[in-house]
Structure 1
């Protein structure tokens, strides 16, 4: 099933449109559908003021798309998706899964966006500086690009063409995968799920262990036959970055026994940190 990329400036109505589409699909199509939204570890303003923090958020979006997208599910990504190269990466994920995709861009005048932003609560509001920067950095989708096509442009007062969007997704053939989007066949059908679940469990356990452990302690982690040597206090951002690196490598070099994943991840942590 398809990947739907929402796209647009902050406060342009992406979440409202994504929710409308989600409700329509649930009401008119018997399939599993997931709504994936940004997960911020810091405030929005601090996130978009830091390239590293923003990369972490994009990494999470991409990881969730890879984990949830299957030939039997629809994934709606409710995020800015304002970088052309990032939309191309998401397009490659859909090609790898052999499923169609589309882009829905929410258009609104900058003045309208600024007014809507003022009505938001303090935690959800963008600062004038960050909002201006995101407007300047926005790389608008272009239907001439294969990763931006089919493209649906929605204005604030437009009704959402939900059925046309669904038809464009379900009645199109998926793009043929190419070598750049192919990896070795996975040894188990639940490999990606287990890889994501087991590595996340270990990261969570390390974070909890750091509350009482001191540098040099040997930490026992769930499912791993080897212990993790805690060298220092490790920030969550670093653990998440290393986890993404391990997942990317392991997907290209899958193991036959999912039970080995925790030990391999611990070994990777001990060598990397």
Structure 2
């Protein structure tokens, strides 16, 4: 199940919308379970569920170096920019089906500030009367005015045009029950519906597999050496040859790879070794060569190296 991040100004209705969404998803999951154990489990995580006080956002009394050390932690809970990038990188490292979804509770700053001021007023009245104001689920604690202003100033609204803020679903403060349900339906279709997008791990963030024998570098060195040797053995003095090499030397009569050498000159060993070293430096991590150690792995290395050589010869003219 994807991670759904609820974002918005402080006191803009995020907690209320999160509870509404939680209730909606819980009902949809029950409807689709058909008497079997549910496919998904819901976890609602917030400052309240983690017992995080509003006072954590007040860093004015701390030394400058302490405020700097806590800036990213503060932003991760209160704003969207840093958390969005971190969340997408984490999602890309996970197996298929994980993704970040953003749900914005949108209210004008003046309206959100009015809510916070009303909470401050009730808190002050209770304090004046010598009473302790219990903060239940429907009445959250207010922010200190300076903290509220600071959080609004630092907040960056998500942008659906950017991949790290997408998909994005927005509910306005005044949206009625029908509009709310339509938005929740669209969100459900995106995260659990039949037409949802399958998110694959990103090659740039996922550790690539290697063979159990640990001979990846040896195989890479051996196969690229063999390609270079085959080119030197077959090319003519005039250059411009098409060198045919077996894709898998262990299989007689199998597929062939073609190296297209530049015309008008002979390709020497120094040039080939330079290209070979560059290719090995690019591929020491095993990107895209998961099956090293068997015939398929060797064939992939040879095919990839030949394509690299052909591209390099074409660029150099």
Q: Does 1:168 align with 2:190?
A: yes
| Residues in 2 aligned to 1:104 and 1:83: alpha-carbon distance in whole angstroms | 11
Q: State the match for 2:205 in structure 1.
A: 181
Alignment match of 1:35 (pick from 36, 44, 57): 44
Q: Structure 1 residue 101: deviation in Å?
A: 2.7
Aligned to 1:237: none
Q: Cα gap change, 1:56/1:168 in structure 2, threshold over 3 Å: closer, same or farther?
A: same
How many Å apart are 1:41 and its aligned residue?
6.5
Q: Secondary structure at the match of 2:160?
A: coil
Q: Point out where structure 1 has 5 or more consecutive residues left out of the alignment.
A: 60-78, 186-273
- Cα distance in 1 for partners of 2:14, 2:164 equals 19
Task: Give the Å deviation of 1:177.
Answer: 1.4
Q: Is the contact between residue 95 and residue 174 of structure 1 (CA under 8 Å) also seen in structure 2?
A: no
Q: CA deviation at 1:51?
A: 4.5
How far apart in 2 are the matches of 1:174 and 1:36? 25
Counterpart in the other structure of 2:92: 95
TM-score w.r.t. length of structure 2: 0.47
TM-score of the superposed pair, with normalisation by structure 1: 0.53
Structure number, greater radius of gyration? 2
Q: Structure 1 stretch 11-20 or stretch 156-165: which is displaced more?
A: 156-165
Distance 1:168 1:47 in 2: 38
Distance 1:55 1:164, change over 3 A: same
> Given that residues 102 and 168 in structure 2 are in contact (C-alpha distance below 8 angstroms), is that contact kept between their aligned partners in structure 1?
yes
CA distance in 2, matches of 1:118, 1:42: 15
The DSSP-based 3-state class of the residue aligned with 1:139 is: coil
| Cα distance in 2 for residues equivalent to 1:148 and 1:42 | 26
Query: What is the CA RMSD across the aligned residues, in angstroms?
Result: 2.6
Shift of 1:165: 0.7
Q: Which runs of 5+ in 2 are unaligned?
A: 30-37, 62-66, 124-139, 210-317
Matches within 5 A, 1:2-21: 2-21=2-21
Match of 2:173 in 1: 156
Deviations 1:74-113 (A, max 9, x none): xxxxx53x23132111122222223133111111111111
SS at structure 1 position matched to 2:197: coil
Distance 1:182 1:48 in 2: 40
How far off its partner does 1:162 sit?
A: 1.4
The higher relative CO (CA closer than 8 Å, separation ≥ 6) is in 1
Q: Deviations over 1:233-264 (max 9, x none)?
A: xxxxxxxxxxxxxxxxxxxxxxxxxxxxxxxx
Separation in structure 2 between the aligned mates of residue 42 and residue 128 of structure 1, nearest angstrom? 12
Q: How does 1:211-230 map to 2 (within 5 A)?
A: none
Choose which of 32, 41, 46 in structure 1 pairs with 2:58.
46
* Residues paired across the two proteins, number: 165
CA drift at 1:125: 1.4
| Residue among 131, 146, 150 paired with 1:133 | 150
